[in-house]
Structure 1
Amino acid sequence: MAEVTFKGNPITLLGTEVKVGEKAPDFTVLANDLSEVTLADSKGKVRLISVIPSIDTGVCDQQTRRFNEEAANLDNVQILTVSVDLPFAQSRWCAAAGIENVQTVSDHRELSFGQAFGVAIKELRLLARAVFVIDSNDTVTYTEYVSEATNHPDYEAAIEAAKAAK
């Protein structure tokens, strides 16, 4: 399992670490309108999944804005931002921030995504910062479990991985 800290303190990640070359595990999260979203809903597209602890914090805000900006340069790539924020808070934040190219989804109900991808923080019931790229055949082609949850991911590496995935 990836070793991750939150503000310098070790945390326990629940679930199974996902590795490059594996089939992506399925999950069920909620869209901002409370409809269910699963991996199968974006089948046939490359998925870049940006995982954040909370949309209302500085690094998470910047991460979501960065991937929103990059989305314009990515063909056949769907970007999902996953957190345990309530769908209503995600919707409010996206409207205020002008986010239109990234779909925010909530894992608050069951931690389905967090446990399937090994990013659920046991002590805080938040998700650890991570980025995953899944190709159109549901194979994981890139993973980054950010070692300190308050740090930024490697945006360039994730974007290049999304461009390279088919």
Structure 2
Amino acid sequence: MANITLGGNPIKTSGSLPSINNQLFDFELVATDLSTKTLNDFIGTRLILNIFPSVNTRVCATSVRQFNTEASELENTKILCISRDLPFSQDQFCAAEGLNNVVMLSDFKTGKFGKDYGLMIVNGAFEGLLSRSIIVADEKGKIIYTEQVPEIGQEPNYKAALDVLYNE
């Protein structure tokens, strides 16, 4: 379990982030067109998993916008923005913001992604949502960077996550 905070109040997650040099776990997430996406849909491209509680909060929305901007600069890289928001909300957000360089995916059906990756918040006001985290993987799905933001209300370290890809 990770010990993080939400508004300064201690909360816990269901486990710990996967370790660097391990492989990404397979997943089944729902895309904005309601199709199911798995890890196999993205193998062969570098991945940034931008994981957050809800796109309807300021910091989560900022992270999606920031990675959308950065994604246009990266070759052979996909930004997967993962939350438990309904796909309809994710789609509406991207349409309203004009964002087209990110792939919005939802863990709303089962929460299995959050549980498998140890990111499900298990207590507090955001119980059942995903903690703010970044996982970067190479083309073969090997994890090369992770960050679990210690305070949910803080932004991730975009530069560190992107630098690992620029320096690869």
TM-score (norm 1): 0.95
Match of 1:109 in 2: 109
Matched length: 165
SS at match of 1:136: coil
Q: Residue 71 of structure 1 contacts residue 77 of structure 1 at CA under 8 Å; is this kept in 2?
A: yes
Match of 2:167 in 1: 164
Once the two structures are superposed, what CA deviation does each residue of 1:109-148 show, in whole Å capped at 9, x if it has no partner?
Answer: 1112211211111221110000000111111000000001
Q: Residue 119 of structure 2 contacts residue 131 of structure 2 at CA under 8 Å; is this kept in 1?
A: yes
Match of 1:43 in 2: 43
Aligned mates of 2:23, 2:162 — CA distance in 1: 20
RMSD: 1.1
Q: 2:152 aligns with which of 129, 149, 157?
A: 149
Aligned mates of 1:16, 1:36 — CA distance in 2: 25
Q: Residue 21 of structure 2 contacts residue 144 of structure 2 at CA under 8 Å; is this kept in 1?
A: yes
Match of 1:99 in 2: 99
Give the % identical residues.
Answer: 39
1:27 positional shift: 1.1
1:10 positional shift: 1.6
1:43 positional shift: 0.5
Aligned mates of 1:154, 1:16 — CA distance in 2: 18
Structure 1's unaligned 5+ residue stretches are none
Aligned mates of 1:12, 1:136 — CA distance in 2: 31
Q: 2:143 aligns with which of 119, 140, 143?
A: 140
Aligned mates of 2:17, 2:61 — CA distance in 1: 25
1:131 aligns with 2:134: yes
1:16 positional shift: 4.4
TM-score (norm 2): 0.94
